[in-house]
Amino acid sequence: MHAIRVASAALLGVTALTFTAPLAAASVADENNVTPFGFSVQPSTIVAGGQVSLLLNRDDGRCKGIATVSSGVFDTVTLRAGQSSARTAVDVDARAGAVYEVTFRCDGVSGHTGLTIGSGRSDNPTVVQVPAQRGVNAGVGGTVDGFDPKEIGLGTALVAGSIGVAWYLARRHDAADDS
């Protein structure tokens, strides 16, 4: 009996570690993108051929020198000391639906962010249509008008049945220990 409890506890511990490993890996990946200066690309979704603003926060004095901004979707932009923004055009052959990495470098430190290419026309860059990503078909998420009595009854029956089975097995197990 003691071995079963130890094995169950060990299995529960391994399961908990398994579910926390992706979170730990994600936090390490985010730590690699921490910079002493702030940066952004505005807008973060643009059509091919559109213009984006590259913004660098120099207010706190943590990026004093020349900064460069590079990406596979536009030419490298150089921001002189004291300059905190620039505009650049996205390549007209950028693939709609793709996310391109934009890297900001200043004083030997670099950080990156994503730039999503939407579908639309470059002559009207304010109208951006982000293509569907073929994600899961999640349904309406409980926003249906009213309650469905059949589903509520079925859910109640499943919960009551599982509680009943657990109670029966626990009582049967206790009776076997008493004999």
- Tens-place pLDDT, residues 131-146: 555 555 565 555 555 6
The reply to whether 88 falls in a domain is yes
Give dist(CA 131, CA 99) in Å, integer.
Answer: 12
H-only helix segments in the chain: 2-31, 149-178
Report, as an integer, the average pLDDT of 73-99: 90
The reply to whether 63 falls in a domain is yes
- For the chain, what percent of residues have pLDDT higher than 70? 63
The reply to whether 151 falls in a domain is no
**Which pTM value belongs to this model?**
0.52
Q: Which domain holds residue 84?
A: 39-118
Is pLDDT of 129 > 90? Answer: no
The half-sphere exposure of 113 on its side-chain side, counting CA atoms within 13 A, is 17
The reply to whether 58 falls in a domain is yes
The reply to whether 132 falls in a domain is no
Is pLDDT of 175 > 80? Answer: no
Residue 127: CB partners within 8 Å, gap ≥ 6?
A: 120, 121
The reply to whether 54 falls in a domain is yes
- Tens-place pLDDT, residues 151-167: 889 989 999 999 999 98
Tally the domains of the chain. Answer: 1
Question: Sorting pLDDT into bands at 50, 70 and 90, what band is 63?
Answer: confident
Per-residue model confidence (pLDDT) at position 77: 93
3-state helix, strand, coil in the chain (%, to 5): 35, 25, 40
> Among 25-29, 37-41, 107-111, where is mean pLDDT lowest?
25-29
Of 60, 53, 59, residue with least CA distance to 113: 53
The enclosing domain of 64 has a CATH number of 2.60.40.10
Give dist(CA 25, CA 135) in Å, integer.
Answer: 23
Per-residue model confidence (pLDDT) at position 87: 93
The reply to whether 102 falls in a domain is yes
Query: Would you give the DSSP letter of residue 39?
Result: E
Per-residue model confidence (pLDDT) at position 62: 80
The reply to whether 30 falls in a domain is no
- Tens-place pLDDT, residues 7-34: 665 565 556 556 554 544 444 444 456 7
